[in-house]
Amino acid sequence: MSSSELSRVPFVHETAFGIWFLRTHTWEHHVLRVAINDLKGLIDTPLPDAPVIADVGCGQGISFRLLAEAFRPSRIVGIDYHTPSLDLAAEAARACKATSAGGATDIEVLHGDCAQLALPSASVDIVFCHQTFHHLVEQERALAEFHRVLRPGGVLLFAESTDAYIKSWVIRLLFRHPMHVQKSADGYLDMIRQAGFAFTTRNVSLPYLWWSRATDFGLLERLGLHRPKPGKRRETLVNVAAVKAG
């Protein structure tokens, strides 16, 4: 995309706290690492050796090392709209390639919009979309792009916070999001299905992690006072490994 086209991308700027939080130990180990491990376990279709991964909304590139360790890809393409974060992602890419875990992985970072990816059609094996979708205004267009760039049988690894979490008071206070596009877990799953992806209940996870309980951060559960069960709670997270159908 040209600089003039990028300047017209609908974009909600994150808070300084939000940008800082994305490089903390909590983000890397309690959010990102946990999600990648969960998503990997949801895949029930064969992946090629040394797959190509598009990390859409890669932020500061904290995911690169974890993706390299989990999938041993030949290439990772990190894409983000926020230029300062992308500068840090480039540093993370260089650091990852310098380690034994990421040494065999070529990592490239691109400044771009998830609703108009600068990637050829059918060019990647995995689209990794972690905690990115609730930032996107043009969600349907983004999903269409994910579908386009995936090869037939390619996998969308989608991990997202739901409206129950994003619209909580603490998240509204500390972060910025386009509130009119937030969805429930079922809402996101329906949207992914309608975009041409296939999955079953085996490929879906509904984590209820302590940090996603914005009312008490799981304190009541840890004290044994409250154990909400699936179907009787408002889901705060949804993970799915969906295959490009057709």
Query: φ, ψ for residue 170 (rounded to 5)?
Result: -70, -35
- Please write the tens of the pLDDT for every residue from 91-108: 999 998 766 444 568 999
Confidence band for 4, pLDDT divided at 50, 70 and 90: very low
* CA pair distance 131, 108, nearest whole angstrom: 20
Q: Which domains are delineated in the chain? A: 3-244 (3.40.50.150)
Plot region of 239 (φ>0 → left; ψ -120 to 50 → alpha; else → beta): beta
- Please write the tens of the pLDDT for every residue from 22-63: 889 988 998 999 999 999 999 999 999 999 999 999 999 999
